C-alpha cells in the first residue's frame, strides 16, 4: 500500500528471518539491518533465536562439499542450487505483499549478500503494479533490479505475464542470469516464469484452485 519494507541480512541465529524483517519494517525507522545489529534487534523484539546448528541438514552440507570440490577442480557448477523460499499475496482489500527467505547461493563467499533482502532486486511489492519474489543467481537480480523492473513494466502498461516473461526469459537470459520469479498483480493474476529446467512452485487463486509444479512443461 505504501511501499513499507523490512529486510535483514547476514544473520546466523534467527529461526524465522521474515519475522525479523517484519519487525524491522514495523518497529524500527529502518529498512534493512544486518549481522550482529540485526541479531541484537531480534533479541530486543523477542524474536526466536537458535544455535546455527539448528539449520544444518546433510542434504545441504553435501551440496556444499560438492560445490567446493568443483571449485578446487576448477570446473563450473553444472547445476544451480537455488534454495530460496518466496511468497507473494493479495488480500481482500487489494494489498499486495512479497516475502523472500534464503540461505544464499551454495559456496558463496563469507559476507556476501544476495538479492533476496534487497528491495527491488529479489523482493518488491506495490499495490499500484505487482508483487514479486525471486530466486536465482542473485548478482544478476541485483544488477538488473529484477523485481522492480517487472513491476515498472506493469506500471508502463504491460500485463503481468508479459512483464514477467520479458524480464526472466528476455533480459535475464541475455545477461546470463539464471533463476525465476513468482509474481502477482492487483487483479490476482499469477505469473511464475523461470529460465532454469525447473522451479518448485505453487499457487492458490480466489476460487481455491491449487496448482503445484516443478518442471517447465508442467
Active site residues: 84
Is residue 78 classed as helix, strand or coil in its secondary structure?
coil
Our CB check for ligand ASP shows the closer of 43 and 71 to be: 71
Least Å from the CB of residue 139 to ligand ASP: 7
Least Å from the CB of residue 29 to ligand ASP: 26
Which of 81, 73, 126, 123 has the alpha carbon at shortest distance from 104? 81
Least Å from the CB of residue 114 to ligand ASP: 2
Q: Which residue is associated with the grid cell 546455527?
A: 52
Those residues whose C-beta lies under 8 Å from the C-beta of residue 32, and which sit 6 or more positions away, are 6, 7, 8, 9, 24, 117, 119
What Rg, from alpha-carbon coordinates, does the chain have? 17
Our CB check for ligand ASP shows the closer of 136 and 193 to be: 136
- Closest-by-Cβ residue to ligand ASP is 138
**Contact by Cβ (8 Å): 152, 178:** no
Our CB check for ligand ASP shows the closer of 115 and 126 to be: 115
CB-count burial class (<10 Å; 0-12, 13-18, 19+) for 111: exposed
Kindly list the residues in this chain that would bind ligand ASP in the complex (CB under 6 A): 82-84, 102, 104-105, 114-116, 122, 135-136, 138
Our CB check for ligand ASP shows the closer of 105 and 151 to be: 105
Least Å from the CB of residue 134 to ligand ASP: 6
Amino acid at each position: 500500500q505504501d511501499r513499507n519494507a523490512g529486510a535483514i541480512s547476514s544473520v546466523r541465529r534467527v529461526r524465522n528471518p521474515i519475522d525479523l524483517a517484519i519487525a524491522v519494517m514495523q518497529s524500527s525507522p529502518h529498512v534493512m539491518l544486518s549481522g550482529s545489529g540485526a541479531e541484537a534487534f531480534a533479541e530486543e523484539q523477542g524474536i526466536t533465536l537458535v544455535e546455527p546448528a539448528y539449520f544444518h541438514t546433510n542434504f545441504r552440507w553435501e551440496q556444499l562439499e560438492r560445490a567446493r570440490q568443483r571449485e578446487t577442480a576448477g570446473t563450473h557448477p553444472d547445476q544451480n542450487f537455488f534454495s530460496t523460499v518466496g511468497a507473494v499475496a493479495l488480500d481482500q482489500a487489494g494489498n499486495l505483499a512479497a516475502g523472500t527467505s534464503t540461505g544464499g547461493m551454495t559456496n558463496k563467499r563469507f559476507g556476501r549478500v544476495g538479492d533476496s533482502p534487497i528491495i527491488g532486486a529479489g523482493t518488491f511489492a506495490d499495490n499500484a503494479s505487482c508483487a514479486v519474489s525471486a530466486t536465482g543467481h542473485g548478482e544478476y537480480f541485483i544488477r538488473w533490479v529484477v523485481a522492480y523492473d517487472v513491476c515498472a513494466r506493469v506500471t508502463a502498461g504491460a500485463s503481468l505475464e508479459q512483464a514477467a516473461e520479458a524480464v526472466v526469459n528476455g533480459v535475464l537470459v541475455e545477461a546470463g542470469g539464471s533463476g525465476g520469479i513468482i509474481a502477482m498483480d492487483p487483479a490476482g493474476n499469477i505469473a511464475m516464469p523461470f529460465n532454469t529446467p525447473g522451479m518448485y512452485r505453487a499457487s492458490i487463486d480466489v476460487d481455491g484452485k491449487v496448482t503445484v509444479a516443478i518442471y517447465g512443461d508442467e
